[in-house]
Structure 1
Amino acid sequence: MDHDETGCQAAPEGPILCINNCGFFGSAATMNMCSKCHKDMMLKQDQAKLAASIVNGSSSSNEHESVAAAVEVQVTSVEPKSVSVEPSFSFGFGSGESSEAKPKEGPNRCTSCNKRVGLTGFNCRCGNLFCAVHRYSDKHGCPFDYRTAARDAIAKANPVVKAEKLDKI
């Protein structure tokens, strides 16, 4: 029997490259895309569907709750006659993930000498980061009042105990 008569298709002879030309191999299951490109495309489609459901207002009560959790609306300008609104979408797929991305900070540096300290920096009570040379309060002119902090700690740890007066017999 011939392949045309049975309706079977011949398997491709070699691996198929991703149609987005990213350099990875695709498969027929992912529409000839690599897994990353396919995942990105599916995410964009989901965002478009979500935005369309918000614009059309055709969401049910269950979808409305999930949309409210996923969409933050930012008001850019408020005037008496017009309101401009920009929706921003954030999707948190794992539990415990925060929707706000922490901006990447530069290398940790000593506040006094600007020397790179990396992971070995010392945090002072004044809130600054110092190298090994400037870690002591007298070396960097620390504005933190250690004496008052110590007095408060002692007063809190040792409350005044005063016994009631006893009647003499």
Structure 2
Amino acid sequence: MESTKETGCQAPEGPILCVNNCGFFGSAATMNMCSKCHKDVILKQEQAKLAATSIENIVNGGSGSNGKPVAVDDAVNVLQAEAVELKVVPLQVACGTSTSPSSEVKVKEGPSRCSTCHKRVGLTGFSCRCGNLFCAAHRYSDKHECQFDYRTAARDAIAKANPVVKAEKLDKI
């Protein structure tokens, strides 16, 4: 008790409950909130800042404010993030065209097949450097008439890995 009188600090009389009434104890370091509620508040503030900067980048044409951080109050950021709602309008309604199966945005992709024999390969398919997918029988370049130029690719890789080093000529004395 004598040390608290000397320093001027007062110990709390009892534990402080979280201000969000979650049932846990809070502390003054976390704005009288428990650690979970404090972490949630910080996360919401960061998301609001990110949303505000992304909205500003969209409105200003992508450049933002010349790379400078946005200085806006956290409360304003939260209000802006909650107030802004993006609505997606289907393409057919916006253009005024009729709905047809060919104009759908979603494209149905079929099963993975070998580019040579059209056999289903699924997860066991081998992708080649030419960009196609092949079965086990056609995975090698000589089996599927590969158009990729391995020779120039290897030459470029060797040239990039081993640059030419020339020493300066020594002056003769």
Provide TM-score, normalisation by structure 2: 0.42
- Greater helix fraction, Structure 1 or Structure 2: 2
- Greater strand fraction, Structure 1 or Structure 2: 1
Higher relative contact order (CA 8 A, sep 6+): 2
